[in-house]
Structure 1
């Protein structure tokens, strides 16, 4: 049996106890008052609008986005969601277990059943990633990377290589969507600066130097159609029409 990938400072933070606080601290307080990129008004609608039949979620957090995207909007809404399969990819088994359980509960109605598969892997490690999730066999209608990049260690020029890998998992008519908190180039209020300082000092974030330009270059290197918005301190992006190696 393969040895599980080593945890990083960013991934190991998410213990079962801290995951109980995640939605309140990150998705409610921080998104509203520090990063100024609303969960309800910006991030969840982006996830919902992009969700395809086969979906790959990288860096799963608590599973908030897919679980809420799959919930019926009312007690009489039994219409099957477009998504029928979700693959969850993360370094931390705690987040995978919580996300899988949450998604399963949201799609408990047989008419809304979604197959869920969890993969423990490091998205920055090509050799491991390609072995556990071969892109030649796996293509997804939608891929999401919400609040992942700012947790990865290293300069943004190395982080944007993640797009080189994820491109090959996006179907020809598929879409890659994501969000990330940018570094010093964006204005900060006192709460944002305090959180940035704490999280970077502990290795939870490594994003002081993260810039829109570097990440956008990585997206445009791999996709023909790229849309980037800045909302507060957050870069919100959508990429379509992956550039295949044979055509580049």
Structure 2
């Protein structure tokens, strides 16, 4: 059972908290991200190997794809797109992240946009078949209801039938081991994560309020989610 202390200390999505989370992804951190975060931490701490997340990515990704919080671009680089030349747009608040991911998948000639998950996206008339949010939500401050505004911000840019999907590390609960629970607390203290109260049930509820064909499944301490936009605005 989650503690009252965790609930009362839930951080709000202030400008300072949003910037703090984004700025943690600097070049030195990104240089080790694939091996340390996606490799070691995902497998041994969160107990959700990156190969499982990639398989989830491959099942959802479309020909015109928006990736929010692309990290180093590892999933985009490894993914099997349904077409040879997909149209890819990268969106992040951190320009270093955008440059890193865009360089990695330069063969696809991606577009980049600086954007904040808590504000309407600067995407003009773009429309997408899929939107990926891998390891994004656990970095966003606030309750799951507050974080889920990111789903509202993608809706204007979705084609009928578009897939919205991703993965996120869940907050306190029996799905954490002693080691992963300690790491979770440390990452929240440092403001890299803001997810102590994030529950799968709350994410599922937020997705069902906006989309259809919602699927949420837990592997270790990670929730893999997907949903379909029915096309009704």
Q: CA deviation at 1:95?
A: 0.7
Instruction: Report the equivalent of 2:57.
Output: 47
**Superposed counterparts of 1:71-110, under 5 Å:** 81-104=83-106, 107=107
Instruction: Report the equivalent of 2:123.
Output: 133
2:69 corresponds, among 59, 62, 72, to 59
Count of matched residue pairs: 218
Instruction: Report the equivalent of 1:226.
Output: 214
1:30 paired with 2:41, answer yes
Equivalent-residue separation in structure 1 for 2:146 and 2:28 (angstroms): 31
Structure 1, unmatched stretches of 5+, are 72-79, 108-113
Residue deviations 1:196-232 (CA, integer Å, cap 9, x gap): 1111001110100001121111111111211111111
Equivalent-residue separation in structure 2 for 1:183 and 1:193 (angstroms): 9
Q: Is the 8 A contact 1:147 1:181 kept in 2?
A: yes
Equivalent-residue separation in structure 2 for 1:186 and 1:117 (angstroms): 41
Q: Is the 8 A contact 1:224 1:243 kept in 2?
A: no
Q: Is the 8 A contact 2:172 2:196 kept in 1?
A: yes
Equivalent-residue separation in structure 1 for 2:171 and 2:163 (angstroms): 25
Q: Scaled by the length of structure 1, what TM-score is found?
A: 0.82
Q: CA deviation at 1:9?
A: 1.3
Equivalent-residue separation in structure 2 for 1:145 and 1:168 (angstroms): 16
Instruction: Report the equivalent of 1:121.
Output: 115
Instruction: Report the equivalent of 2:10.
Output: none
Name the SS for the 1:19 alignment partner: helix
Based on CA coordinates, which of the two structures has the bigger radius of gyration? 1
Q: CA deviation at 1:241?
A: 3.1
Structure 2, unmatched stretches of 5+, are 1-14
Equivalent-residue separation in structure 1 for 2:49 and 2:191 (angstroms): 24
1:196 paired with 2:190, answer no
Structure 1 runs, 4 residues or longer, greater than 4 Å off: none
Equivalent-residue separation in structure 2 for 1:152 and 1:139 (angstroms): 24
Q: Scaled by the length of structure 2, what TM-score is found?
A: 0.87
